[in-house]
């Protein structure tokens, strides 16, 4: 047990406490507003890839100050320890399996917390931690209480899009409905984890007092209209005359925030709500 504790300590990032920046750069100028103070944090290194074809034991469930979802510490039979994002309905002592090989359907164990290829999961399954690019690690659906759903398998792209036919990994796709309502084609050879992510009630949490917000590294927000003209485009006595903008003069309401990509339309079956 002593060796296990020693390895657990090694998991923590060398920047576990770090240096507080207060939203300022190397010159001392504020580059990120409304940041400063806050309690000290430890940073846990999260394993988003889970490449090992392994059977792991869930050792503990931890609170991570850097994210709303709970983090679980798993240990496999080789003694390798890593931190993963946990779905709900798992408890300490559960066995979590990460499949990294193509297996027959009879040998698969489908339960919350298990990671598998998308083509091995049945349509209608609720999933999280989805890979967008193969072997890059999960990029979609990683926040607390969210999930995606598999709509269908073996979708193909539009024939007008010239695909690399020599790469078999790009031939099969799965239609995934994301939390935003967007239905998107993702490679069926990407991996995902079964279940809904933990801490679903996080959105119901109340800050209750200003001091708690300061603990969370948040400083007060001052309205631009309450400032002087030198501090904000909205500053000064008179109102109106221009749309709502940032302190740097960029539009804040109604301006599209998603970059246009001509190839993206072949992967998106339905736009987000």
The residues, any chain, with a CB within 8 Å of residue 187's CB and separated by 6 or more, are 118, 131, 134, 169, 170, 172, 173, 174
What is the pTM assigned to this prediction?
0.81
pLDDT at 157: 60
Asked if residue 165 is part of any domain, the answer here is yes
CATH number (domain holding residue 24): 2.40.50.140
| 194 touches 204 (CB < 8 A) | no
Range of the domain at 30: 2-200
Asked if residue 159 is part of any domain, the answer here is yes
Token pair belonging to 128 = 């999280």
The residues, any chain, with a CB within 8 Å of residue 44's CB and separated by 6 or more, are 11, 12, 13, 62, 64, 66, 71, 83
Q: Is the pLDDT of residue 203 over 80?
A: yes
Q: Considering just the CA atoms, what is the radius of gyration of the chain in Å? A: 23
Asked if residue 71 is part of any domain, the answer here is yes
Asked if residue 217 is part of any domain, the answer here is no
- The band of 192, judged by pLDDT with boundaries at 50, 70 and 90, is very high
- The band of 101, judged by pLDDT with boundaries at 50, 70 and 90, is low
Percentage, residues of the chain above pLDDT 70: 84
Instruction: Tell me the residue ranges of DSSP E strands in the chain.
Output: 54-62, 71-76, 81-85, 95-98, 115-117, 126-128, 130-131, 138-140, 148-155, 173-177, 183-187, 191-194, 268-270
Provide the domain count of the chain.
Answer: 1
Asked if residue 211 is part of any domain, the answer here is no
pLDDT of 12-59, one tens digit each? 443 456 678 889 999 999 999 999 999 988 888 898 988 767 789 999
Asked if residue 236 is part of any domain, the answer here is no
Asked if residue 88 is part of any domain, the answer here is yes
pLDDT of 252-266, one tens digit each? 998 887 777 777 777
d(CA 18, CA 36): 14
Query: What's the mean pLDDT when you consider all of the chain?
Result: 83
d(CA 231, CA 241): 17
Asked if residue 234 is part of any domain, the answer here is no
d(CA 135, CA 79): 23
pLDDT at 220: 95
């Amino acid at each position: 047990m002593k060796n296990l504790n020693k390895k657990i300590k090694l998991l923590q990032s060398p920047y576990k406490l770090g240096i507080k920046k207060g939203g300022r750069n190397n010159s001392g100028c504020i580059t990120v507003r409304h940041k400063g103070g806050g309690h000290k944090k430890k940073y846990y290194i999260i394993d988003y890839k889970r490449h090992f074809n392994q059977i792991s034991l869930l050792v503990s469930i931890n609170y991570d100050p850097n994210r709303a979802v709970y983090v679980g510490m798993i240990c496999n039979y080789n003694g390798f320890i890593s931190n993963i994002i946990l779905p709900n309905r798992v408890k300490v002592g559960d066995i979590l399996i990460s499949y990294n090989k193509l297996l027959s359907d009879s040998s698969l164990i489908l339960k919350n917390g298990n990671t598998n290829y998308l083509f091995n999961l049945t349509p209608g399954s609720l999933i999280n931690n989805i890979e967008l690019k193969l072997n890059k690690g999960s990029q979609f659906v990683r926040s607390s209480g969210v999930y995606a759903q598999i709509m269908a398998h073996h979708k193909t792209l539009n024939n007008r899009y010239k695909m690399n036919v020599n790469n078999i990994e790009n031939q099969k796709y799965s239609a995934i409905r994301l939390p935003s309502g967007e239905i998107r084609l993702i490679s069926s050879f990407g991996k995902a984890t079964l279940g809904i992510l933990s801490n679903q009630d996080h959105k119901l949490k109340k800050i209750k007092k200003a001091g708690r917000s300061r603990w969370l590294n948040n400083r007060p927000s001052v309205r631009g209209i309450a400032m002087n003209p030198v501090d904000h485009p909205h500053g000064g006595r008179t109102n109106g005359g221009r749309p709502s903008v940032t302190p740097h003069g960029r539009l804040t309401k109604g301006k599209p925030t998603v970059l246009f990509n001509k190839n993206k339309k072949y992967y998106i079956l339905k736009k987000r709500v």
